[in-house]
Structure 1
């Protein structure tokens, strides 16, 4: 059920810096508020398959299938390393530059969605997060999990959007120096690479 305890727990989870937050910050700094909002939307959409899997019980299948888990995990690792490379390239999609790189909103959102879709731990995470807040009525369990999932997604978009807007606001102050931009790009690339390394060592 949607209780104050659930809302606080969900907010803490959403606010914790992760891959989606880093992606949104990078887009906010590199391309401004519009791109950051599209990034937040994409990351939120990427949560949906994992929430659905947890609600339908498919997360348990992923948890018990070593082959399926490994396939999704290594695809996620490869994708995070690709994002790191895109951050380091001068003309990369995530490169922080003084001149804004214009990309379509759906391109930005698609990358954000893939970041979460290709993280197999999310399904297992939601399978552990949501059931403790159920009322205990088996007849309404699916409805309750769906409602909690919808609230979680709304909070995800709201918090990520705030992160992105903050980054876009700081863009003008931070991008006046080529040295600062190079430092930001190396930092974002290093974070994406580190997250790829962490995911590589995850086990079902």
Structure 2
């Protein structure tokens, strides 16, 4: 069939695709748990910095999948496991860091920009070390691509871009909800108690990731 001249993807798949990715993103997972903890304990700006990092990490996997690079994870299962366990260890390190009190929400204003930058980098790194994000794109995008429209690369980039928009929107709502609840939590809990709850929550997210990415 001759490719459609106007639409890079089949218009008929857009709404089903958006519904599918929205349901996937609304399913509780490590990203949702970590973002909720960050916004709960550190507030809205910190949460949005984390969302930006998560989105960049997802975008990197999306581009890798669009160009066929993530096939390596299917060819070499050991590589998938290596990235998976690196991600789990990274989250456990964040839990230990929270327990020690690094990035305490009561820190001085001079530390704000460094904290936001660090949260952006942590969100990005956490997603780069989550191989399930790569498998998600490899498994989902082809089911919504049609041979009579744009090239496979164009369709993958278009659909992947739509997913990033949906993911960022849902993650932002999580931040807003977490930050709203955080105001109540922070008035009742400070110091070691808050650090313990945050560290324990991140450790649970690490175990959650280990289970969810087990293959």
**TM-score, length-normalised on structure 1?**
0.86
> Does the CA contact (< 8 Å) of 1:35 and 1:108 recur in 2?
yes
**Structure 2: runs of 5+ lacking an equivalent:** 1-8
Q: Which residue of 1 aligns with 2:102?
A: 92
Alignment length (residue pairs): 198
Q: Relative to structure 1, is the Cα distance of residues 68 and 192 closer, same or farther in structure 2, using a 3 angstrom cutoff?
A: same
Residue in structure 2 matching 1:160, options 149, 153, 171: 171
Q: Which residue of 1 aligns with 2:6?
A: none
Provide the rounded CA distance (Å) in 2 between the counterparts of 1:33 and 1:8.
27
Q: Which residue of 2 aligns with 1:202?
A: 214
Q: Which residue of 2 aligns with 1:66?
A: 77
Matches within 5 A, 1:107-186: 107-137=118-148, 140-178=151-189, 181=194, 184-185=197-198
**Root mean square deviation, CA, Å:** 2.3
Provide the rounded CA distance (Å) in 2 between the counterparts of 1:16 and 1:78.
23
Provide the rounded CA distance (Å) in 2 between the counterparts of 1:196 and 1:13.
15
1:77-107 deviation line (CA, Å, top 9, x unaligned): 2102112222323x133x6x5x357343221
**Which of these two proteins has the greater Rg computed from alpha carbons?**
2
> Does the CA contact (< 8 Å) of 1:31 and 1:100 recur in 2?
no
1:47-88 deviation line (CA, Å, top 9, x unaligned): 012111221122222111133223212211210211222232
Per-residue deviation, 1:187? 4.3
Provide the rounded CA distance (Å) in 1 between the counterparts of 2:137 and 2:210.
22
**Structure 1: runs of 5+ lacking an equivalent:** none
Q: Relative to structure 1, is the Cα distance of residues 100 and 129 closer, same or farther in structure 2, using a 3 angstrom cutoff?
A: farther
